[in-house]
Amino acid sequence: MEAADRAEQFIPAGLASLRIEADEVDLAVMSAAHQMFWPAIRALLSLELGDLEPERNPDLSRAPEKA
Amino acid sequence: MNPLDLSLRGQAAAIAAGEANAAELLDATLARIEERNPAINAVVATFPEESRSMLAEAPDGPLRGVPVLIKDEWPLPWRAQRFGAAELLAPTAPGESGPYRALRDAGAVVVGVGNMHELGAGSTGNVSVYGAARNPWDTERCPGGSSSGPAAATAAGLVAGAVGADGLGSVRFPAAYCGLTGLKPTFGRSAMAGHHMEAVTTLIVSGPLCADAADCRLLGSTLFGEELAAGAASGLRIGVVRDTVSEDVTPEVDEACGAAIEALRTETGGEIREIELADLDAATLAGILIINAESLGGVSPERLNDLDPGISPINRGFLKYRMLLPAAAITQAERVRTLMRRRLAALFEEVDVIAWPTIPAVAPPLEAPLVELPSGTQTADQANVRGAALANLTGIPAISVPVGFGSEGLPIALQLQGAWGADELLLDAAEALERANGRRWVDARPPLAQAEPAGA
């Protein structure tokens, strides 16, 4: 319920700010997606990665250069 | 044997040796598609005139005269891709894509376009503007996605090989569900030109779906534009991870994959090493976030307010939800990518391959693509992506190899992942696994592929 409550606030506000229209079915799908992804996104944002900086324009066909 | 039922390399060799007539093979392939496709909805377009023109002009390449299917993800000179959807949110037009050119230059004949999960956004193949594709092993089951049609068509013997695409497992899932071998190449090694996301994607690659590793080597060499030389895979150091990807799987998947890993070790005279690979959940989410962000290029709110009504409700809603993803999470996802690439680079100093199940459970029903796992009931998409995203996120190659059947007669598959550029080693390892189990799983055919046409 808690996650659903957040979705009820977050999704309509986000859509309104971007002027994206949504019907009831859209909102139901988005609510389900939000409940699935949002806790994981919060966990991702909380992941402590120290001072790790992302590779700049990494060549994904090769191993990374040594940090 | 009917040339239609030969392997991809067998068809190529038979034509080269004058033992099979390429024009007759093309006609027979088109007839078989007409005969068997209604049961699986794997092929969404054929174009006999264009296919015959390709054959007439085919150079004397390694696939001369061999019919191949291509996923609805690249344009052909006579047909734009539809991406399995009522509309594509990116500009699209007929043209010579990279995979098309690679096939043409190898002498292959593009015989049709394969169905796919709508917008590439699913691991099951049960949602498509063309209608769901069906699994030849049980037509009430999902064939896997998003390369659903290429896999189902190859498993049902409509063609001996097909070109798919893999952005978060989309070659490996359908290969696993349909009992095929599927290679997700190292990022950047296989032909991608003409894909509507080519300029922005850092995850999607083209890849072959075939019955076995030798056919994947042949079709892969075509897509790579270089020969994928065979080796021995001796003394293979096999890394195994004790984590959700290997443990939250059904007992029959656990048993079959465990036996396959041990068989691979024995066959190669290698060893099994338990390894640590932390933050796999974060890596999975990072892959999902990045591919969703990349696919938003050029998508405006106005565009989303004017979607074709033929787009499925689930993708309509999710397309709009994508717009709300926080930029900070995308940035963090890129940091996770760097973290996992560095960890993998270190791990591949200790092991040659990392092995875990491609899919945690066999193909679920089309009507309700859910899987029952030790952790509980999950959507197949949620469960499948956990084992696939790492390779796309980091760029490493991966291969799915059939290793058994579940109690319902549906295929089970093992995934092997290697270091950047180790595509050849993965094919070698897959061939070693085939030898180890007497080719029992790669030579198995679904009932549909054993059927003879009425009156034959």
B382: its two tokens:
């949620």
**Chain A closest-CA separation from residue B280 CA (Å):** 11
For B67, phi and psi rounded to 5 degrees?
Answer: -75, 135
Per-residue pLDDT band for A4 (boundaries 50, 70, 90) equals low
pLDDT at A14: 95
Amino acid at B145: G
B455: contact with A, CB 8 A cutoff: no
pLDDT 10s digits, B140-153: 999 999 999 999 99
Mean pLDDT value across chain B: 96
A3: contact with B, CB 8 A cutoff: no
Superfamily of domain B3-285+324-450: Amidase signature (AS) domain (3.90.1300.10)
Nearest CA in chain A to B314: A29
pTM greater than 0.90: yes
Residue with tokens 């032909």: B191
Per DSSP, helices labelled H in B1-146 are 8-16, 22-40, 48-56, 98-105
Task: Report d(CA B74, CA B84) in Å as an integer.
Answer: 11
pLDDT 10s digits, A22-38: 999 999 999 999 999 99
pLDDT 10s digits, B288-302: 999 999 998 778 999
A24: its two tokens:
């009831």
Task: Report d(CA B44, CA B27) in Å as an integer.
Answer: 17
**Chain B closest-CA separation from residue A30 CA (Å):** 6
Residues 182-221 of B with CB under 8 A from A: 186-189, 202
Per DSSP, helices labelled H in B244-326 are 244-247, 251-268, 280-294, 301-304, 313-322
Nearest CA in chain B to A61: B187
The complex's ipTM works out to 0.93
Q: Are the beta carbons of B362 and B375 closer than 8 angstroms?
A: no
- List the domain boundaries for chain B: 3-285+324-450, 286-322
pLDDT 10s digits, B48-97: 999 999 999 999 999 999 999 999 999 999 999 999 999 988 888 999 99
A61: its two tokens:
């066909």
Give the pLDDT mean for B348-371.
Answer: 98
B319: its two tokens:
């397309």
Task: Report d(CA B357, CA B416) in Å as an integer.
Answer: 9
Q: Do A29 and B337 touch (CB under 8 A)?
A: no
Q: Do B421 and A61 touch (CB under 8 A)?
A: yes
